[in-house]
Amino acid sequence: MKAILITGPPGQYAVHLADFEKLALPVFEKSKKLLIIDEIGKMEMFSEKFQDSVRKVMMNKDIRFIATIPLKGGPVLVKQLKENRDSMLITVTELNRNHLLDEVVDLITK
C-alpha cells in the first residue's frame, strides 16, 4: 500500500495561486519518505504544478503518501488517486474518526 486517501465532508475556502505554489511546491522537493496533504480538491487543481507534483509522488514507490480527498466526485486527479491500485481509501465518519490515527500510523509504519 503506497497511498492512504481519507475522505470526509467538504470545506469552503479560496486559494491565491502564487502564494499556494510558493508554500506547497517546496514540500514536494523535501519529502523523501512521507508526504501528507490535507485536502486535494477543486481549488488545488488551479495549479498544474501541484497536480504534476502529486502525480510524481504517486509514481515514487519510496514515498508514502497520505491525502484527504472529496468523498464524492472531484477533479480528474482525485479520481486517479482513488483508482490507483497502490492506494487505500479510508472514509472518515463520526464513528471512526477518533481512532483512525492509530490505524493510519500502523499502516504507514509497516
For residues 92-100, average pLDDT: 89
Q: Structure pTM?
A: 0.78
Q: Which domains does the chain show, CATH number per domain?
A: 3-108 (3.40.50.300)
For residues 75-95, average pLDDT: 89
pLDDT at residue 9 greater than cutoff 80 = no
| Mean of all residue pLDDT scores within the chain | 85
The Cα angle at residue 75 between residues 85 and 102, in degrees rounded to 5: 50
DSSP string over 22-63: HHHHHHHHH-SSEEEES---TGGGG-HHHHHHHHHHHH-TTS
Decide which of 44 and 54 is more confident.
Answer: 54
The grid cell for 82 is 482513488
Q: Give the pLDDT score at 26.
A: 96
pLDDT at residue 1 greater than cutoff 70 = no
Q: How confident is the model at residue 56 (pLDDT cuts 50, 70, 90)?
A: very high
Q: Which helix (H) or strand (E) holds 12?
A: none
